[in-house]
Structure 1
Amino acid sequence: MTLLSKWDKRFINIAESVSTWSKDPSRKIGAIAVRNRKILSTGYNGFPKGIEDTEARLNVREIKYQYVVHAEMNCIYNAAENGISLRDSTLYIYGLPVCGDCSLGIIQAGVLRVVAVSKATPERWKAAIGKTDEIFKEAGVEYEFAEI
């Protein structure tokens, strides 16, 4: 575990707040991208714009997983939609470690550092998250875990 600076703690707390915007009944994830202590973008796990997030879709995992966009990718997409580069930024994530698919998007967006609250991973997510450390290391992305 990494000791966080006061700014890191502030940004993790903001990512936690963003996670509450998710309508997912079982897991709420929040992400914020920051550069030079300025928030560039936010994201939370949820359905794409224009897709109805009904209880029927949200409460059946097999259906929900077909629609949900992870918080990290929503943060990247929201930045792109607004013409904001995430190059050389830090991504703060509250909720779960980064999955392999999101790690690829994070690298492509030019993020240099990722701070996640905990490395604790539910069993059903271990396969998806398993390669992330290796992928980030090879790409030169700092990946830190911290407790708040």
Structure 2
Amino acid sequence: MARKSWDEYFMSIAELVAKRSTCLRRHVGAVIVKDKRILATGYNGAPSGTAHCEDVGCLREKLNIPAGERHEICRGIHAEQNAI
């Protein structure tokens, strides 16, 4: 098995981090890297201290809102935001 490139290595970590997502629709992971060192990781979902979609349900799903629409009513935030 060939050794992964740095980009492939960090992407595989982002895929693993995504498994922690609490979003019912999409699981996304983020890895912040500088000089080939991981500074932070994050995944999409509700901000710290608020109810998670997997616990209380997804409002967009309950209202049958198609993917890509009405993001303003979503309680979740991006993986990158959680990493920061």
Instruction: Provide TM-score, normalisation by structure 1.
Output: 0.43
- Note the C-alpha offset of 1:66: 3.3
- Note the C-alpha offset of 1:63: 8.8
Please report the RMSD computed on the Cα atoms of aligned residues, expressed in angstroms: 2.4
Aligned length in residues:
72
Partner AA of 1:44 in structure 2 = Y
Aligned to 1:14: 13
Query: Quick one: percent identity of the two aligned structures?
Result: 39
Moved over 2 A (4+): 54-60, 62-66
Would the alpha carbon gap of residues 56 and 11 (structure 1) be closer, same or farther in structure 2, given more than 3 Å must change? Answer: closer
Instruction: State which drifts further: 63-72 or 9-18.
Output: 63-72
Of the candidates 70, 73, 81, which is equivalent to residue 73 of structure 1? 81
Decide which structure has greater helix share: 1
* Conservation of the 8 A alpha-carbon contact between 1:24 and 1:58: no
2:22 equivalent to 1:29 = no
How far apart in 1 are the matches of 2:39 and 2:57? 28
1:44-63 → structure 2 map (5 Å cutoff): 44-55=43-54, 57-61=56-60
Instruction: State which drifts further: 60-69 or 45-54.
Output: 60-69
How far apart in 1 are the matches of 2:39 and 2:56? 30
How far apart in 1 are the matches of 2:57 and 2:82? 17
CA offsets per residue over residues 94-145 of structure 1, 9 Å max, x none? xxxxxxxxxxxxxxxxxxxxxxxxxxxxxxxxxxxxxxxxxxxxxxxxxxxx
* Conservation of the 8 A alpha-carbon contact between 1:58 and 1:64: no
